[in-house]
Amino acid sequence: MRVDRWETLVVALLAAVTVAASLGVDGFANGSNVAFLLLDVTEIALMALTMTLVIVAAEIDLSVASTLGLCCAVLGRLWTAGLPIEAIMPICLVTGALAGALNGLLVTRLGLPSLAVTIGTFALYRGLAYVILGDQAVADLPPAYTGLATQSLGPIPLLTLLVVVLAVAAGILLHATGLGRAVTALGANEEAAYFAGIRVKRIKFWLFVASGTMAGLAALVFTFRYASARADNGVGLELAVVAAVLLGGVSIFGGRGTLAGVVAAVLLLAVVRNALILADVANEVLNFVTGLLLVASVLAPNLKVRLERKPVQ
Amino acid sequence: MLALREVSKSFGAVRALRGVSLDLAPGEAHALAGENGAGKSTLVKILSGVHRPDEGALLLDGEPVEFHGPADARAAGVAVIYQEPALFPDLSVAENVFMGRHPRRSFGRVDRRAMRTRALDLFSRLGVPLDPARPARGLSIADQQLVEIAKALSRDARVLVMDEPTAALSGPEVERLFGVARSLRDQGRAVLFVSHRLDEMFALCERVTTLRDGAVVATDVLADITPDDLVRRMVGRDLAALFPKQPTVPGEVALKVDRLTREGVFTDVSFEVRAGEIVALAGLVGAGRSEVARAVFGVDRRDAGSVHVAGRPLRAGSPTEAMAAGVALVPEDRRQQGLVMDLSIERNIGLTTLKWGLLSRAAERARATDWAIRLQVRYAGLTDAVTVLSGGNQQKVVLAKWLARKPRVLIVDEPTRGIDVGTKAEVHRLLSELAAEGLAVLMISSELPEVLGMADRVLVMHEGRLVADLPRAEATEERVVAAATGRPA
Ligand SMILES: Nc1ncnc2c1ncn2[C@@H]1O[C@H](COP(=O)(O)OP(=O)(O)OP(=O)(O)O)[C@@H](O)[C@H]1O
Ligand SMILES: [Mg+2]
């Protein structure tokens, strides 16, 4: 199967790049760099998990990074207002959930395309973040939490363990449960799924809620990791997230994709980036390489079809 | 005129055609017969340039030709009606008919008026009351097929190839199509006609070529053989072409539909189906039969009236609840509504019985295998996407998917559309068996022999209203047709 092969390719590429970087790039293959690399990709990885589900359902959520910013702003505001952090954290998640719910309502109730809706809320949520926190940076966060966010268990960062647990959960959800089957089916053919009694709208709504909530969680991680809550936290991350999901072999048209592929793609992008930075490559080149990988991921399946069509005479 | 010489075609390990030769002569209508998956559509797609033969050659007026794509075939004067309609949903009906060859005015502007009048002209030849300006989205399968037919006819081709064009049509539409096809034939065009309805082949064609497992079994002059001979050629053994329903004693009312109305579509439709009964819903294309079924199942809204299942009212607009109450609907459009084409056979079958929690792949596979065998689905592997199955085999997967739910009320919309004679008898036997076990069946069918052979009662719709309710003993061909066409019986 084509899909499986693409994911194998991503994994192989990841292995190759990792080996090459270990041999060729000074400072790549040491424990602290690997831990840093893993830690640095936490937010992207988290949001990519739910984004995978959303895109498999043939929708998209471009507002995730703005939702993250909004949640950071809420966190900063409430912290400066003197609320205990233990109370703020759930509020942060609920804020994300509500932002996702608004996306979900606009998409399922009004029947608007999610691309348009989430481009709108992309601007809206970021704007709201500035309204709430302004240009302020809230930095005096409790060290207990900022410390926790960068701690490791042996060589592996705690947050990476969190990502692993959630990735396994999302993988099981998508590939081994009836709900995941329903998500795949409705992404491939919404009408047939509806005729089969799948509650298409309800599922889509909850996917957007999940995506928003995950952005809320990513906001907590981001804030504690950098010990700074700002309205512009995570600007541009949505592109990194979507890029990873597509590179991981998820079809932009829905109905196809695996979580393993996405995880491999997240790592691949992170390793490439890290290795190039260590090798002192300019930022522009960096973006160029990321873009190249992405174009390749979109082109590859089509190229393969072309090649197969060629007569074998 | 157009001929195939020793053509073979394989898809991976599947040998769809082996050494097939076929001659289409001017002024002749040629039938192509064979079971599901015998290779008929593959042959059609070779004639139309979609597929290229692995071996063998195509001859046009005796000269070898190569079609590199559908455009080449079209340029050579071959017009094709494919088994599965493929219209552009957002374009108007007229634009679909003239796709790629719009009538032009100066500066290459599309001449909408000419397009409209020419479309109307085609539709009136076919006797279809379709508005050329409406979008193709939402057309019933039968109407989509009529648009495809109009599209092919508008090309004024030398060779007309039709792959199961009549599968969703009822008597009068088929007659009109045949009228047009006959006049083309009499003008010296060649016609290739694929169908699973034997009577149609005998009515339209002079010769028939039968395929079995991708190879030609025989080419016969139809006047020299009987339908039974033809079935034997296709299946390789004797077979009762129709399986009459076994009489059962009807039980409780399983489905009660009361004064159901959807504005502008159907009005005041009331009927009951009892456990153990098979009730047929007959009528012309466009009479509103499928629409009633969809409103009962809840995929379409309803404006008035009620539906009760086993005495309990059913809320409008929720297929999920209809399913929970034990209702199943096998929809007419298998590609859009029946199947998720990219998913595998087993996953499609499993789709109606999904629970939210963890799945057991073994159980899923076992159930899929079970039903695939019961319905004689022909496949290479259960993990194959349903796209690679032949049309009839796809239909069987849709049936399997719904039967796997073990429903109490089964609504089937053209259940044997595109299914071959052997399996049709098998599907009929299965429905009869399930009815004997207490299933209530509402069967929409445009095929009169199926209606008369299977139904305990025949309901007839005409222009959105129920106009007749005939018990089996009174349901004759004349009465059903009279009611369906709105003539007083
Ligand atoms: N694109 C494809 N890839 C793989 N296998 C295919 C493909 N198209 C057709 N086949 C296989 O080729 C065989 C012949 O299929 P074909 O569609 O020609 O049958 P058919 O005679 O038209 O049947 P039906 O009466 O059901 O329409 C089948 O076994 C089918 O599964
Ligand atoms: Mg076919």
Query: Probe ligand 1: pick from B4, B20, B42, B416, max atoms within 8 Å of CB?
Result: B42
Q: From the CA of B43, how many Å to the nearest CA of chain A?
A: 18
Q: How does residue B239 score in pLDDT terms, banded at 50, 70 and 90?
A: low
pLDDT exceeds 50 at position A183: yes
CA distances (Å), B264 to each of A55, B142, B291, in order? 38, 19, 11
Task: Verify whether ligand 1 is closer than 6 Å to residue B42 (CB atom).
Answer: yes
Task: Mark which residues 285-314 of B lie under 8 Å from A by CB.
Answer: 299
Average of pLDDT values for B348-356? 86
Q: How does residue A310 score in pLDDT terms, banded at 50, 70 and 90?
A: very low
Q: Tell if the CB–CB gap between B340 and A181 is shorter than 8 Å.
A: no
Q: Tell if the CB–CB gap between A188 and B356 is shorter than 8 Å.
A: no
pLDDT exceeds 60 at position A3: no
pLDDT exceeds 50 at position A309: no
The confidence score (pLDDT) of residue A304 equals 54
Chain A interface includes B352 (CB < 8 A): yes
Give B8-29 pLDDT, tens digit per residue: 998 887 888 999 999 999 999 9
Q: From CA A216, how far away is CA B484, in angstroms rounded?
A: 61
Average of pLDDT values for A83-106? 96
pLDDT exceeds 90 at position B152: no
Chain A interface with B: residues with Cβ < 8 Å: 172, 176-179, 181-182, 184-185, 188-189, 191-199, 255-256, 311
* Residue from A304, A298, A259 nearest A11 by CA: A259
Average of pLDDT values for B236-253? 74
Q: Which of A141-155, A204-218, B287-301, B410-424 has maximum average pLDDT?
A: A204-218
pLDDT exceeds 50 at position A1: no
Q: How does residue B488 score in pLDDT terms, banded at 50, 70 and 90?
A: low
Q: Tell if the CB–CB gap between A178 and B357 is shorter than 8 Å.
A: yes
Average of pLDDT values for B166-184? 84
Q: Torsion angle of alpha carbons B198, B200, B204, B209, nearest 10°?
A: -30
Average of pLDDT values for B206-225? 90
Average of pLDDT values for B216-231? 88
What residues of A are in contact with residue B300 (Cβ under 8 Å)? Answer: none
pLDDT exceeds 80 at position A208: yes
Q: From CA B197, how far away is CA B141, in angstroms rounded?
A: 18
CB A56 within 8 A of CB A250: yes
Which residues, in sequence order, are CB contacts of B370 under 8 Å at separation 6+?
A: none
pLDDT exceeds 50 at position A311: no
pLDDT exceeds 80 at position A5: no
pLDDT exceeds 90 at position B281: yes
Q: Tell if the CB–CB gap between A181 and B359 is shorter than 8 Å.
A: yes
Give the best residue of B68, B139, B340 to mutate against chain A (max A CB count within 10 A): B340
pTM for the whole thing? Answer: 0.82
Give nearest CA residue, ligand 1 atom 17: B390
Q: Tell if the CB–CB gap between B339 and A192 is shorter than 8 Å.
A: yes
CB B467 within 8 A of CB B483: yes
Average of pLDDT values for B60-84? 88
What residues of A are in contact with residue B358 (Cβ under 8 Å)? Answer: 172, 176-177
B391-422 as b/e, with b when 16 or more CB fall inside 10 Å? bbbbbbbbbbbbbbbebbbbbbbbbbbbbbbb
Q: ipTM exceeding 0.85?
A: no
pLDDT exceeds 90 at position A288: no
* Residue from A73, A37, A2 nearest A160 by CA: A37
Q: From the CA of A193, how many Å to the nearest CA of chain B?
A: 8
CA distances (Å), B94 to each of A60, A254, B78, B385, in order? 34, 31, 21, 33
Query: Probe ligand 1: pick from B4, B9, B14, max atoms within 8 Å of CB?
Result: B14
Minimal Cα distance from A3: which residue of B?
B342
Task: Verify whether ligand 1 is closer than 6 Å to residue B417 (CB atom).
Answer: no
The confidence score (pLDDT) of residue B305 equals 93
Average of pLDDT values for A232-244? 92
Q: What are phi and psi of B478, to 5 degrees?
A: -60, -45
pLDDT above 90 coverage of chain A, percent: 68
Q: How does residue A303 score in pLDDT terms, banded at 50, 70 and 90?
A: low
Mean pLDDT of chain B: 87
Which residues, in sequence order, are CB contacts of B274 under 8 Å at separation 6+?
A: B250, B251, B252, B253, B254, B440
